[in-house]
């Protein structure tokens, strides 16, 4: 049972455009929703995270939108740059428990 569904699997965006990645979860006990960025040969690195008591969180060019009733959340990357090309994972957990990850989105930003 896949508890966190992520889409799209791959995404190509022009430089300066907006990259949008979506995730949906099933377990209503989840209360922590981070996004991780992973470059080839590296470990995942935390990008931004949100709790369900807010509907949006912004850090620089990265924004998480959260819809608790729909059990969905998304990552928006504004003014996408070639250096943003990486694999992005959404995840969810109940507090400080282990993370359940989505399958990942391979993002390519074309110059």
Partner 1 sequence: DARVTQTPRDKVTEMGQEVTMRCQPILGHNTVFWYRQTMKQGLELLAYFRNRAPLDDSGMPKDRFSAEMPDATLATLKIQPSEPRDSAVYFCASAREETQYFGPGTRLLVL
- List interacting residues with partner 1 (CB under 8 A): 32, 34, 36, 42-46, 49, 89, 91, 93, 95-104
Task: Pick between residue 40 and residue 83 the one whose CB is nearest to partner 1.
Answer: 40
Closest-CA residue to 35 (of 46, 26, 27, 23): 46
CB of 76 to partner 1, least distance (A): 21
CB of 40 to partner 1, least distance (A): 11
Q: Tell me the HSE value of 99 on the side-chain side, using a 13 A CA sphere.
A: 15
Query: What residues are paired with 91 via a beta bridge?
Result: 101
């Amino acid at each position: 049972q896949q508890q966190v569904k992520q889409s799209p699997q791959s995404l190509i965006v022009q430089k300066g455009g907006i990259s949008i990645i979506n995730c949906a979860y099933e377990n209503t006990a989840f209360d922590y929703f981070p996004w991780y960025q992973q470059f080839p040969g590296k470990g995942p690195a935390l990008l931004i995270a949100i709790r369900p008591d807010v509907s949006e969180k912004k850090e620089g060019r990265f924004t998480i939108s959260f819809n608790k009733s729909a059990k969905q959340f998304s990552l928006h990357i504004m003014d996408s740059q070639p250096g943003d090309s990486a694999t992005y994972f959404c995840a969810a957990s109940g507090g400080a428990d282990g993370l359940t990850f989505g399958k990942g989105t391979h993002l390519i930003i074309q110059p």
